[in-house]
Amino acid sequence: MTTPRLWSFRTSPYSGKVRSAFLEKDVPLELVEIHVAKRPPRLKELSHPGRVPVLELPNGVIRESSLICEWLEEAHPEPPLWPADLVLRGWARGWAMWLDTTVTADYFLGMRKWAYGKAQDDPDDIVEQLHGRLPRRWVILEEALGAHEGPWLAGDTFTYADLSGMPVAIRMPEWTAHLVPDPAAFPRIAAWFTALRERPSAVGIDAHGDEVLSA
Amino acid sequence: MTTPRLWSFRTSPYSGKVRSAFLEKDVPLELVEIHVAKRPPRLKELSHPGRVPVLELPNGVIRESSLICEWLEEAHPEPPLWPADLVLRGWARGWAMWLDTTVTADYFLGMRKWAYGKAQDDPDDIVEQLHGRLPRRWVILEEALGAHEGPWLAGDTFTYADLSGMPVAIRMPEWTAHLVPDPAAFPRIAAWFTALRERPSAVGIDAHGDEVLSA
């Protein structure tokens, strides 16, 4: 095996972010599609809780999407996907983390519970609770998008922070148009979502490999 | 202002990890001690939820302990605190994240609830629930410490992954000796905790600046 191999599934936002990151770098990636309800034994060896994405390399394994992106940046520095300025880089890393753990987590966890059912100890309105957090996130995100000149979060350089917004920018209009922030109230988010959807690497969000059930 | 300034408080494990990281790098750091129940207005400007640690630099702000460590590594590369090998580096980053979000989070959140009281919607046994997760974490950690030759997680190089273990290695014997893993069952953890406590940078865990209430 020489091509890095990503264990992922099509609708996983963190897997999608990594698939798009590899497209940005033009680094070949083999995709292994897993079935969420029947995770292959090999995946459980690679990642103890059986979580994806996991990147399998000839000499080891990298777990967790933001850590896979850090590996990608160091192993394949060109084109850079972090700003050269270290303080701006720290700022961009902060927004990548914020997007991953708030907007993306709330939206996709809500969608998963809507599609597959809530957990036993979830309140009845768990989906509404999760999606109900989004409007106050938009206020914070709109302000963050005003910190630099755009079109991207850190200014004219496209970074991993933008990639962290890509899963929501692609899936939200497709799955739940009523949750998309109002362009009149959030013009910077609207422009950013459009720019993300038009980015060639956006096809990574929907990319998938052959399904492996028993690898 | 030229010296980086860290907004932190003495018993915050993530602040302690950053203070020890700066000692490892021998980079001067100004400490601003906050009062947890009365966070200064200036801190709320620097970090919207008023969270610490926050690193204030002449030209910006870095939030969140693992992102402050990434900045530190890039701004002050010597001595390196990530392994040179990129796959081993990804592995070490994974264990730093795991320690921060499992062992450290469960232990210190439990201690905080024990000291300051539980939240309104917490179950009565919240402290026991949080601390009850630790024994199964020790099993995983003991195995991870066996992956390389030691004395550190990634082998003979001390890394940020070890720093992520330092707050618990220092505070647990001091505050709650009965929670320290049994050395007979977990000999690698016992040796690692001892090595962490003996490391000169361990004094960073207990370091603090003058308290600022109204900055």
Segment A112-149, tens digit of pLDDT: 999 989 998 899 999 999 999 999 999 999 999 999 98
For residues A65 and A136, state if they share a domain.
no
Task: Please report residues of B whose CB lies closer than 8 A to that of A61.
Answer: 91
The pLDDT assigned to B214 comes to 55
Q: Taking Cα atoms as reference points, which of B191, B175, B165 lies closest to residue B100? A: B165
For residues A190 and A207, state if they share a domain.
no
Mutation target for B interface from A62, A97, A100, A133: give the one with most B CBs within 10 A: A62
For residues A151 and A129, state if they share a domain.
yes
What is the domain count for chain B? Answer: 2
Q: Name the phi and psi angles at B161, rounded to 5.
A: -65, -40
Whether A181 shows a pLDDT value over 80: the answer reads yes
Using the Cβ of A70 and the Cβ atoms of chain B, whether some distance falls under 8 Å is answered with yes
The pLDDT assigned to A169 comes to 98
CB contact under 8 A, A48 and B140: yes
For residues A193 and A208, state if they share a domain.
no
Higher pLDDT, residue A38 or A136: A136
For residues A97 and A157, state if they share a domain.
yes
CATH of the domain at A164: 1.20.1050.10
| Domain housing A118 | 86-202
**Residue B142 C-alpha, separation from nearest chain A C-alpha, in angstroms:** 14
Place of tokens 């009845």: A124
For residues B69 and B117, state if they share a domain.
no
Tokens in use for B48? Answer: 């919207």
What average pLDDT does this structure show over A100-104?
A: 97
Task: Please report residues of B whose CB lies closer than 8 A to that of A75.
Answer: 86
For residues B13 and B75, state if they share a domain.
yes
Task: Please report residues of A whose CB lies closer than 8 A to that of B55.
Answer: 90
For residues B184 and B96, state if they share a domain.
yes
Percent of chain B with pLDDT over 90: 80
Rounded to whole angstroms, the Cα distance separating A47 from A121 reads 26
Using the Cβ of B90 and the Cβ atoms of chain A, whether some distance falls under 8 Å is answered with yes
SS3 state at A126: helix
SS3 state at B70: helix
The pLDDT assigned to A203 comes to 96
CATH of the domain at A11: 3.40.30.10
What average pLDDT does this structure show over B108-131?
A: 94
CB contact under 8 A, B60 and A88: yes
For residues B28 and B134, state if they share a domain.
no
For residues A172 and A207, state if they share a domain.
no
Neighbour tally for B98: CB within 10 Å: 20
Task: Please report residues of B whose CB lies closer than 8 A to that of A94.
Answer: 62-64, 67
Using the Cβ of A74 and the Cβ atoms of chain B, whether some distance falls under 8 Å is answered with yes
Percent of chain A with pLDDT over 90: 80
Q: Name the phi and psi angles at B33, rounded to 5.
A: -85, 130
For residues B195 and B126, state if they share a domain.
yes
Nearest by CB to B93, from A48, A70, A75: name it.
Answer: A70
For residues A90 and A72, state if they share a domain.
no
The pLDDT assigned to A212 comes to 67
Nearest by CB to A86, from B61, B74, B91: name it.
Answer: B74
Q: ipTM of the assembly?
A: 0.91
B156 Cβ contact partners less than 8 Å away, ≥ 6 residues apart: B149, B150
Residue B43 confidence class, pLDDT cut points 50, 70, 90: confident
**Residue A86 C-alpha, separation from nearest chain B C-alpha, in angstroms:** 7
Whether B74 shows a pLDDT value over 60: the answer reads yes
Q: Which of A50-59, B92-101, B169-178 has the lowest mean pLDDT?
A: A50-59
